[in-house]
């Protein structure tokens, strides 16, 4: 870092604090409380998810699980149902596991130190530091992906690519911490990375560091990037078996819980098959097929691939011998199904059906 022209580290925090207080975000719902439960939920939701998306889920989640004890007492399926559509479902499972750890190990109170928070399920160092700083006034540095980008640009550093470079950036982050105004400083780093210092098309003219940021002034241009061979984005095609059975107490839909690994881990889902014949074979094991028809295909975009989903609606008369638990699945009423943790496209498909 020495010898690099650009921002004076001694003035970084005061300038950021002043900018945040005047131009930063102040109306996000999780900023209205120092309750570690509310802050923790927001931090986990915000991982790899845009703020505008989280805003649609945050308050409904808290209405359903108003405190850590309510979350710990809930069944995992209830948590996954509230999380449905936010993606990265491992976060929801870790959230549930963490709530139970807080109740079982700490009597329902979150640890006040970064180290204690970091020992809980799903809480990494930066998330633990944010909770400790915002809720308990601890002087801790955050270093999520956004903050790494801000510091790399502001101080003309490469993004960390190994343990040594990451350790060096943590040291820089800790050295920049102010003695006062820690809340505004920490929030300012988050705001700057999310709203101005974006990965692409950063809004440098509005940045408080525009006058001397090496990235903006191009005083330390990056070496030409070597071409990187990116794998072609692939499309996975599934036929979704939408098996429906009219029973004495109403219509039922057959769902199976997906494996703990892979796409939609642990969620209940319409069974996925490579082709229509495979789907019909399973349908015949569930009951006497009365009729079937293909529905309009659905495209669902994941981080690393696209899913092309073709629902095959099959109306059948269920075999008496197919009980709950057979073939790793169960019959559910529509109301029961919509209360489960479902992948977003499956939820939309089922929710569009009349309940009567």
Q: Which residues are catalytic?
A: 43
Cα–Cα nearest to 6, from 154, 160, 195: 154
Cα–Cα nearest to 137, from 114, 168, 169, 164: 114
- Angstrom distances, CA of residue 221 to CA of 49, 62, 211, 218: 30, 46, 16, 5
Q: Decide if 92 contacts 75 (C-beta within 8 A).
A: no
What values do phi and psi take at 308, rounded to 5? -105, 110
94-100, Cβ contacts within 8 angstroms, sequence gap of 24 or more: 94/44, 94/121, 94/122, 95/41, 95/44, 95/71, 95/122, 96/71, 96/72, 97/121, 97/122, 98/40, 98/122, 98/123, 99/68, 99/69, 99/71, 99/72, 100/72
SS3 234: strand
């Amino acid at each position: 870092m020495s010898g690099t022209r650009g921002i004076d580290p001694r003035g970084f925090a005061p300038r950021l604090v002043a900018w945040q207080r005047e131009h930063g975000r102040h109306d996000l719902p999780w900023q209205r409380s120092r309750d570690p439960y509310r802050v923790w939920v927001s931090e986990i939701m915000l991982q790899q998810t845009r703020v505008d998306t989280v805003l649609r889920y945050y308050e409904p989640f808290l209405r359903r699980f108003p405190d850590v004890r309510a979350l710990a007492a809930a069944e995992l399926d209830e948590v996954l149902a509230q999380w449905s559509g936010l993606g990265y479902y491992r976060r929801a499972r870790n959230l549930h596991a963490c709530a139970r750890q807080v109740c079982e190990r700490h009597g329902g109170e979150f640890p006040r130190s970064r180290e204690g928070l970091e020992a809980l399920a799903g809480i990494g160092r930066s998330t633990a530091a944010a909770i400790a700083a915002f809720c308990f006034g601890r002087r801790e540095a955050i270093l999520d992906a956004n903050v790494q980008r801000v510091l790399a640009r502001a101080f003309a550093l490469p993004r960390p690519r190994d343990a040594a470079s990451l350790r060096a950036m943590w040291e820089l982050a800790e050295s920049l911490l102010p003695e006062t105004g820690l809340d505004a400083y920490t929030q300012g780093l988050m705001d700057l990375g999310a709203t101005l210092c974006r990965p692409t098309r950063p809004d440098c003219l509005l940045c408080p560091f525009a006058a001397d940021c090496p990235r903006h002034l191009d005083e330390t241009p990056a070496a030409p990037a070597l071409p990187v061979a990116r794998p072609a984005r692939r499309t996975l095609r599934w036929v979704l078996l939408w098996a429906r059975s009219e029973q004495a107490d109403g219509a039922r839909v057959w769902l199976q819980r997906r494996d703990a690994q892979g796409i939609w881990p642990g969620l209940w889902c319409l069974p996925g098959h490579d082709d229509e014949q495979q789907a019909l074979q399973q349908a015949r094991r569930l009951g006497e097929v009365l009729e079937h028809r293909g529905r309009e295909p659905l495209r669902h975009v994941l981080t690393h691939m696209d899913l092309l989903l073709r629902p095959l609606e099959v109306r059948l008369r269920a075999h008496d011998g197919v009980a709950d638990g057979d073939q790793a699945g169960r019959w559910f009423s529509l109301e029961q199904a919509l209360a489960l943790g479902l992948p977003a496209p499956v939820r939309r498909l089922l929710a569009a059906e009349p309940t009567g």
